[in-house]
Each structure stands twice: as structure tokens, then as C-alpha cells.
Amino acid sequence: MSEFRAGSVAQVSYLDELVDAGLLTRTGVHGVYARGGAFEHVRLAFDSLVTRAAAAETPEPLYFPPILPREQLETSGYLGSFPHLAGTVFGFEGDEQAASDQLELATRHEDWSGFQHMTDMVLAPAACYPLYPAAAKRGPLPEGGLTLDTGDAFVFRREPSTDPARMQIFHMREIVRIGDRETVLAWRGEWRSRAEELLRSLELELELDVASDPFFGRVGRLLAAQQRDQELKWELLAPVAGDKPTAIASSNYHQDHFGLTYDLKTADGEPAHTGCMAFGEERVTLALFSAHGLDVNEWPSSVREKLELR
């Protein structure tokens, strides 16, 4: 069940300010906004900063759209961990009479779901998900493994809220490492300091924390505890609105989960390990506007230079 999460007073008031300033425009659905020119300018400037930070490892660009084959969601285990966050794509099946009946109900804003049937597509819940089966299809990994770049991919999480940092559809930029255990762990350690440095250079008040994903139900609480114990996820948090900081970047180490799931093997024929470094681009942008004010022209010149804002 995807419940509405009301934002705090500070969060709702920040959202109002963003809308009044034309940085975001409401659509009528909580957590779905249009981005204004200044917001997008900053988001893309941050995206380019990530590109520059990752350039030394020459990741291969593999840019997936927000639609994922349903079969991959079924195979990945996502529905066990996060059934409440998934979005599936349905479409019309029927003849002209059915289309006419559907239209009549829809025009009256009544229930027309009976005419809609599950397709072979779902919404992508994370930018890196489609990369693992795509990599597996190429056969065993090259020596040294692979480093991939998702670009600024749209992802969907069904969690309506009036907290502007909790969007249902947003851009996630991920750099993904696929290889043997040692390679992935070493890479993850490097990105831990690199990501922290990158976000600190934007003069955000940062906290680093071991974290867990919002797993569903009672079993989920056990999975979350296990994830924390093994330090499989860490997050970088920054103030957006209110007292509690918001996670704006995170890194997951999946061990050999995707390696086993998709039969993705290293050059030595072992199940591959995978890790990812993810930036929530809208959240970073919200943290920047929160830290430096709603007018980009008034931001500290050091931050503007770092982002190459013109």
C-alpha cells in the first residue's frame, strides 16, 4: 500500500517557495512537478559535474528510458523488497465498443480500470537495474570488469508526498561497477571520498551515514537490519527543509545478487559482484537552492564556478 506521506511544515513551506519562484510547477499529483528553467539549469550543471568527476574511469554510457521490461522486475527480486513502490504499465485491449465504453467512464472520471490490461512493461525503479541484464547478455565480463554510466535517468517510486524532496518521478544518475568482489569494494571506497568531496565543494552541510533501503513489511525490517549490519549501503545527507537532513546520494553494494540473478560472470567465470554510486539529481538541486538561496545569481561565486554556471 502506497500511503500519502504529509510533508512537515518546513517541507511544505519550502515547496510553496519553490513554486512561487517558478522553480517547480505543480501538476495536481503530489510528487510530480514540472521543472522551471533555473531549476533545470542547476540540475544539468550538477549532472555535468558528475560527468567530470567520473571521467577518469571512462565509464561506458548506457542510457535507458524510464520503461523496463516487466520480466526484469519479476526476476530482480524488487517485488519482494519494494512492492509498494513499483509502478506497472497497463494498456487498453478491446474493440471499438469497449473503447467507447471506456471513454464514457473516463470522461465522467469514473473507474475505467476494467478496460486496462497489464503490458510487458513497468516503470524503472532505479537507473542501474537494466544495466545488469544488458551486461550479462554480452557474455563474461572483460578482464578488470566494466564501469557503466546511466546518464540522468528518470526513475519512478510510488510515494506521494508534499515533501518536495520525495518525488514520484525524478532523475537518478548512477555510475555502476561490475567485476570481482575486490574490484567493486575498492571502487566503492574511492567513490565514498570522491562523492563526499564533490558535494562538499558545493558548500553543502554533509553527513555520511550507513543506511538501509525502505524494505516492505516485517521481513523487510530484517533485511534492512542486515543491510545496515553489513554496511551494504551508505548515504550522503544534506539539509533540504526542516531539521532532518535528506539523502542526496547513496552507494549500494549488491554483493553477487545481480551476478547470480542474471548469470553475469567475471572473466574467471565467477558470479560478478556489483556496486553503484547514485546521485538523486532533484534532491541535490533542492539542497543547493536551500543552502544558497532561490536566486542562482546570488550564489557564492565558488559554488557557481564549481558548477560552471554561466
Given its phi and psi angles, is residue 250 left (phi above 0), alpha (psi -120 to 50 degrees) or beta? beta
Kindly state the cell numbers that stand for 55.
571521467
CB of 250 to a copy of itself, least distance (A): 21
Which residue's CB is nearer to a copy of itself, number 79 or number 267? 79
Which residue's CB is nearer to a copy of itself, number 84 or number 194? 84
Which residue's CB is nearer to a copy of itself, number 121 or number 309? 121
Q: Which of 214, 124, 119, 234 is CA-nearest to residue 171? A: 124
Task: Work out whether strand 207-210 and strand 233-238 pair parallel, antiparallel, or are unpaired.
Answer: antiparallel
CA distances from 84 to 4, 80, 217, 237 (A): 12, 10, 10, 24
CB of 77 to a copy of itself, least distance (A): 8
CB of 39 to a copy of itself, least distance (A): 8
Kindly state the cell numbers that stand for 265.
560472470
CB of 302 to a copy of itself, least distance (A): 26
Which residue's CB is nearer to a copy of itself, number 80 or number 142? 80
Q: What is the DSSP letter of 57?
A: G
Which residue's CB is nearer to a copy of itself, number 116 or number 162? 116
CB of 3 to a copy of itself, least distance (A): 10
CA distances from 163 to 68, 186, 290 (A): 27, 35, 13
Q: What is the DSSP letter of 223?
A: H
